[in-house]
C-alpha cells in the first residue's frame, strides 16, 4: 500500500483567452511548520485582450482547484487479474493560487469581475493596469479568521465600537479596487475602513501598499511567517510602525501578544483567548 498526493487543477477558465492563457507558473517551497506551499503566476500580455472573449470565458466556467491525499492499494478482479485503485483519505490544506495580468484596462477588469460574480472565495484586485486573481488556500483563510476572532475579542472586552467589514470591495472607480482578508471601521461606519489586514502566503505583501495608498486606507497590517508588519499612512506614503496608531487600538493592543496568540489559536482557540485577555488586561490602567 502506498500513499501519495494528487492535485489535478482545472484551469480551462483561462485557456483560450488571448493574453490570459499559458502563464508562467512558479511553485514556492513549503513553509516550515505550516505544511502548505503557494503557487503564483505573473503574465504580461503582448497583444490586446478581447473583452468579448474575456466575458464569455469567465462567465462559462469557474476555476476549480482540487487537492486530495489518497491511498493506493491492489484490488483483485473477478477474472483473477489485479489492478491498483486510489481511495481518497482526506483533504489537506490547499495552497494559495495567485495570478496577475498586466497591461489591462478597468473595463477588462469589470468583465473579469462579472465572470467571477458567482465564484465564492475568489479575491480580485486592480491597480496600475494590473489585474490580480487570488484563490486563498485553507491555511490562508484559517489565519485570517483567527486574527479576526482575536481583534473582535479585544474590541468587545475593551468596549470599543467597531464594524468588521471583512473582505468587502474597496474601490475608486477606474483607478483601484481591492479586497483585503480582514478590514475594520472603528467608532463609526466609513466607506473606506480604518484598518485592513492581509495574510501573505505568496510574494508581494508590501507591494499592495500602493493599492491601499490610492484608496486612502489609514493603516495596513500584513501577517507573514508568524509576524505582523504594520504601516500607517502619512502625507508622503506609508511608514513602518511598531504599534498601531489607530486611537482605539493604540493604548492597549500589544502586537507581539496578538501574534503569539494567533499562533496559539491554531491549536486551541480557548487557550489563545485566555492568554490574550490576561495579556491586554494587565496593560490597562
Structural domains of the chain in order of their starting residue, each with its CATH number: 9-63+93-135 (no CATH), 138-281 (3.90.1570)
Q: State how far the Cα of 10 lies from the Cα of 83, in Å rounded to an integer.
A: 27
Q: What is the pLDDT of residues 21-79, one digit of tens each?
A: 434 333 333 333 332 334 444 444 444 455 455 545 444 443 333 333 344 445 555 66
- As a whole number of angstroms, the distance between CA 171 and CA 28 comes to 30
Q: Which three cell numbers stand for residue 188?
A: 463609526
**For residue 267, how many other CB atoms are within 10 A of its CB?**
9
CA–CA separation, 68 and 5 (whole Å):
6
pLDDT of residue 127: 95
Neighbours of 155 (CB within 10 A): 19
Distance of alpha carbon 110 from alpha carbon 64, whole angstroms: 21
Report pTM.
Answer: 0.70
Residues of the chain with pLDDT under 70: 1-93, 202-206, 283-285
Can you tell me the distance from the alpha carbon of 114 to that of 3, in angstroms, rounded to the nearest whole number? 40
Per-residue model confidence (pLDDT) at position 78: 63
Q: What is the pLDDT of residue 281?
A: 81
Q: What is the pLDDT of residue 118?
A: 85
At 71 the pLDDT is: 40
The DSSP output letter for 49 is P
- pLDDT at 204 (0 to 100): 59
14: nearest Cα among 93, 131, 92, 94: 131
Q: Say how many C-beta atoms besides its own lie within 10 A of residue 239's C-beta.
A: 11
Extended strands (E) in 13-58 = 24-31, 36-43
Residues 14 and 20: beta-carbon distance below 8 Å: yes
3-state secondary structure of 111: helix
d(CA 195, CA 184) in angstroms, rounded, equals 5
Amino acid at each position: 500500500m502506498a500513499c501519495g498526493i494528487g492535485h489535478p487543477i482545472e484551469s480551462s477558465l483561462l485557456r483560450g483567452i488571448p493574453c490570459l492563457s499559458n502563464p508562467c507558473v512558479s511553485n514556492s517551497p513549503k513553509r516550515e511548520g505550516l505544511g502548505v506551499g503557494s503557487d503564483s503566476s505573473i503574465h504580461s500580455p503582448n497583444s490586446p485582450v478581447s473583452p468579448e472573449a474575456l466575458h464569455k470565458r469567465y462567465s462559462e466556467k469557474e476555476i476549480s482547484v482540487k487537492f486530495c491525499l489518497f491511498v493506493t492499494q491492489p484490488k483483485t478482479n473477478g477474472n483473477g487479474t489485479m489492478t491498483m485503485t486510489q481511495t481518497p483519505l482526506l483533504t489537506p490544506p490547499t495552497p494559495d493560487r495567485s495570478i496577475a495580468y498586466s497591461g489591462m484596462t478597468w473595463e477588462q477588469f469589470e468583465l473579469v469581475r462579472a465572470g467571477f460574480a458567482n465564484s465564492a472565495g475568489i479575491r480580485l484586485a486592480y491597480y496600475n493596469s494590473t489585474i490580480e486573481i487570488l484563490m486563498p488556500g485553507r491555511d490562508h483563510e484559517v489565519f485570517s479568521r483567527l486574527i479576526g476572532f482575536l481583534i473582535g475579542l479585544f474590541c468587545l472586552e475593551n468596549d470599543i465600537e467597531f464594524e468588521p467589514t471583512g473582505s468587502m470591495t474597496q474601490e475608486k472607480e477606474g483607478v483601484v479596487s481591492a479586497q483585503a482578508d480582514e478590514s475594520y471601521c472603528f467608532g463609526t461606519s466609513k466607506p473606506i475602513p480604518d484598518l485592513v489586514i492581509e495574510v501573505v502566503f505568496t510574494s508581494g505583501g508590501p507591494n499592495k501598499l500602493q493599492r491601499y495608498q490610492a484608496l486612502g486606507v489609514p493603516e495596513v497590517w500584513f501577517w507573514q511567517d508568524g509576524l505582523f508588519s504594520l504601516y500607517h499612512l502619512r502625507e508622503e506614503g506609508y511608514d513602518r510602525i511598531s504599534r498601531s496608531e489607530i486611537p482605539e487600538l493604540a493604548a492597549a493592543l500589544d502586537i507581539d501578544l496578538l501574534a503569539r496568540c494567533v499562533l496559539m489559536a491554531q491549536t486551541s482557540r480557548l487557550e489563545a483567548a485566555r492568554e490574550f485577555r490576561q495579556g491586554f488586561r494587565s496593560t490597562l490602567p
